[in-house]
Amino acid sequence: MDINATLVDLIINDLKSRKGLSQVWESLDEDQQNEIRKCWEELVQEPKPLCGYPTYPPVTKKAQPSLPENAKAIQFTDEMKDRVFNSLKGNVHAGFEHGEPILKVTTVDGKVAVAHLGDWIVQDTVPGTYHIVNDPDSHAEHMKHEQQ
């Protein structure tokens, strides 16, 4: 028996074991039961939109790069948003703005800065504080002038 058939059997057995549903299942004739089984088989084989909801690609494990311990800056991207959030120390809040994920971080002067997708979050000299960089090239140039 393949994995999809096993999964359908588990789903049907789960439905039959639920209080109230077992009586309904037993009241169905064999053709109705087979139709329900066929629907589950189709859903397990190839997910289709249900009730107007979109289907999503199957979840696959992706190798996520680990963040180095001494990382001084990290880019806030859609792929890395959870990892970035979990790696930051201090007063950090995740949220949404206009439907897009954002991170709110505390700056060295105690203000709140908002990171949008694509921004770089740079660790400041005070632990748990950060500043946001939209353009890393201009930031690098600014830092070079500041050090002179």
pLDDT of res. 47:
53
Three-state SS string over 36-103 comes to HHHHHHHHHHCCCCECCECCCCCCCCCCCCCCCCCCCEEECCCCCHHHHHHHCCCCCEEEEECCEEEE
Judge if pTM exceeds 0.75.
Answer: no
pLDDT tens digits in sequence order for the chain, 148 residues long: 577 788 788 888 888 888 777 788 888 899 988 888 888 887 777 655 554 555 555 544 444 444 445 557 888 888 888 888 888 888 888 888 888 899 999 888 888 999 999 888 888 878 888 888 886 565 455 444 444 4
Residue 114 CA to residue 48 CA, distance in Å, equals: 38
Cα 20 to chain center, whole Å?
35
Tell me the pLDDT of the chain averaged across its residues: 75
pLDDT at residue 116 in the model:
92
Q: Is 116 within 8 Å of 100 (Cβ atoms)?
A: yes
Helix axes 3-17, 30-45, angle to 10 degrees: 130
pLDDT in tens, 111-147: 899 999 988 888 887 888 888 888 656 545 544 444 4
